[in-house]
Structure 1
C-alpha cells in the first residue's frame, strides 16, 4: 500500500468525483482510477460504489477513510519532524554540566535554547568533567559543560566562559584582611582541593599557580564538588583556590581575595564529539556562543 494511493482515495472521497479529484491531484482520470482499483484489490474490499453518474463511499470505505486520513497525517508529521531534526529544531539532547556552571552559565543558555527550539527535549544531569568525557566518548551524552583544561583528540572544545582564580579563606583567617594575596603567602596553608580524579586539568592548573611560587600545596582534603570545597573552607578545614563566580554564589563564612600577579584563568567549555555532531548539537553550541557573549 502506497501513500499516493491513500492520497488519491481521500481526494475521491472528499470530492465524490473522479474528475474533480484528478484535477485536484494534477493527474489523469485513468491514472487515478487505476490507483483506486489497485488499492481495492490489495485490500480485497470495495471502498467506493460508483457508476457513470455517482461516486459514493461504501460502509467499509467510510471506516477506511478515517484511518487513511490518520495515516497521511502521521506521515506528514514524520516528514515534518525529520526535516526539523535535520535543521536542529526537533529531537532530544543529553547534556551534562559541572555543578560550578549550574548557577551562572547553564540556565541562561537552556532558557534561550528552549525559546528558539521548543520541540527539542533536553535531559540535563550534573556530572564531573572526567565522567563527562567518558559519557561523550561512549555516546551516552551529546554535550558537556566541562572545566578546562581538557585535552582529547576525540572531542571538540568550544570555550564559552572565562574567569579569574581567587583564594577563599575562612572569615577569621589571619590573611582575611589583606586586599589581595600572592600565591607565595599560601605556602604553609592547608589546602582544600577540587580533586584531580574528578577534574585533572583544573587540578593541574591550581598546582601550577603554586609551583610557580616554588611550593607544592599541602592538600588536607579533596572533594569532587566546588561548593563542597567552599563549605569545607567555611568550616575552617583550610583554604582553596577556585573560580571567582563559584565563590560569589556561596559567600557565607568565607572571604574571597584576588591573586596578585596571576594571569591564569579558569575556563568552562562545551565538549562534543569531534567531527560527528548533529544539527541539533550544532544549534545548541551556536546558542551558547551567543548567550555567553554577555556572560564571559
Structure 2
C-alpha cells in the first residue's frame, strides 16, 4: 500500500466517478483503475462496487475511507512541519539569559520574534554568564545573552546593549539626595555585590573601581542576581554599584545616582557558536541585530 493508492482511493470515493476522479488526479482512467485494484489487493477487500449505474463504496470502503483520509492528512502535516523546520519557520530554540537583559533588550526581541515566527517555540533558561558558556560549549543552548568579555574562541558576539553603572543606595541614606556621587563617598559602607563565580568580569571591575577611589569595599552580601543586590539595598542593609537598567525593576526603597567618574559600561552580548547555524537560529540572530541597532540608535 502506497500513498498514491490512498490518494486515488479518497478522490474516487469523493467523486464516485472514474472520469472525474482521473481528471482531478491528472491521469487517465486505466492507471486509476490499476491503482484501485492494487489497493484492494493490498487491503484484501473490495472497496468499490462497479456496475452499469456507476461506482459506490462497499461497506469495507466506507470503513476504510476515514482512516485513509487521516493517513493522508498526517503525511501532509509531517511534510509541512519538516519543511517549516528546514526553512526556519517552526521548531524550538534553547536560549539562555542572565542579569539585566530582562530590563534591556531581550523582551522586545522576544515579542518581535514571536510575532514574526509564531510556530517557533522559544525555551528560555535563566543562567549566569559562566553557566551559559558551559551550556553553549556543550550545545545545550543555541544562544545566550551574557554579561562577560571572557568568550572562548569559536563564538560570534552581537552587542545587545551598553549601559552605565550607577550607585544604588537605600532611599533613607544620607547620600541619597546627591545629584552625582563620587565613589569615594561610599568608603566604609557595607557593599552588596554579585558574587565572582556568577559574574567575574563585573565583580572584579567593581572592586577595581573602589580601589581606584582609594578604598577596599566591605563585601557584606555576595549574591547570585543583580535584582537580589538591589533588594538587599532596599532593605537598608548596604549600598552597591549596579547596571542602570535595574531602575526599571521598580523596587521601592532605593535610589540610583550617577557616578562622578563613570565605570566602564555594563555590556550585554548575544553569543552563538560559529558555523552550522540552522535557519531558526539565523532568523533569531537577525532579529537581535535589528533590535540592538534600534536600542543604540543605529
Q: Is the 8 A contact 1:161 1:292 kept in 2?
A: yes
Give CA-to-partner distance per residue, 1:4-40, whole Å, 9 cap, x none: 2211111222222223222221223322222222222
Matched, 1:209 2:209: yes
Distance in 1 (alpha carbons) for counterparts of 2:11 and 2:194: 67
Q: Which position in structure 2 is the counterpart of 1:18? A: 18
Give CA-to-partner distance per residue, 1:199-243, whole Å, 9 cap, x none: 223323334434555655442321001111112223343321111
* Distance apart, 1:123 and its partner CA: 2.7
- Greater mean deviation of Cα atoms: 181-190 or 149-158: 181-190
User: SS of the counterpart of 2:151?
Assistant: coil
- Greater mean deviation of Cα atoms: 49-58 or 279-288: 49-58
Taking the TM superposition and a 5 Å limit, the aligned residue runs for 1:1-296 are 1-51=1-51, 54-213=54-213, 216-250=216-250, 252-262=252-262, 264-296=264-296
What 5-or-longer segments of structure 2 have no aligned partner? none
Number of residue pairs the alignment of both structures matches = 296
Distance in 1 (alpha carbons) for counterparts of 2:237 and 2:213: 23
Distance in 1 (alpha carbons) for counterparts of 2:204 and 2:57: 77
Distance in 2 (alpha carbons) for counterparts of 1:12 and 1:180: 82
Distance in 2 (alpha carbons) for counterparts of 1:42 and 1:158: 58
Distance in 1 (alpha carbons) for counterparts of 2:54 and 2:171: 93
* Distance apart, 1:185 and its partner CA: 4.4
Give CA-to-partner distance per residue, 1:94-117, whole Å, 9 cap, x none: 333224222443332222222222
Give CA-to-partner distance per residue, 1:271-294, whole Å, 9 cap, x none: 333323322222222223333444
Q: Is the 8 A contact 2:109 2:291 kept in 1?
A: yes
* Distance apart, 1:48 and its partner CA: 1.8
User: SS of the counterpart of 1:76?
Assistant: helix
Distance in 2 (alpha carbons) for counterparts of 1:236 and 1:149: 32
* Distance apart, 1:245 and its partner CA: 0.9
- Greater mean deviation of Cα atoms: 19-28 or 58-67: 19-28
Q: 1:263 to 1:240 in 2, by over 3 A?
A: closer
Q: Is the 8 A contact 2:96 2:141 kept in 1?
A: yes
* RMSD (Å), alpha carbons: 2.6
Q: 1:62 to 1:192 in 2, by over 3 A?
A: same
* Distance apart, 1:70 and its partner CA: 1.3
Distance in 1 (alpha carbons) for counterparts of 2:199 and 2:208: 14
Distance in 2 (alpha carbons) for counterparts of 1:82 and 1:173: 60
Q: Is the 8 A contact 2:103 2:245 kept in 1?
A: no
Distance in 1 (alpha carbons) for counterparts of 2:203 and 2:277: 29
What 5-or-longer segments of structure 1 have no aligned partner? none
| TM-score, reference length from structure 1 | 0.87
Distance in 1 (alpha carbons) for counterparts of 2:274 and 2:177: 47
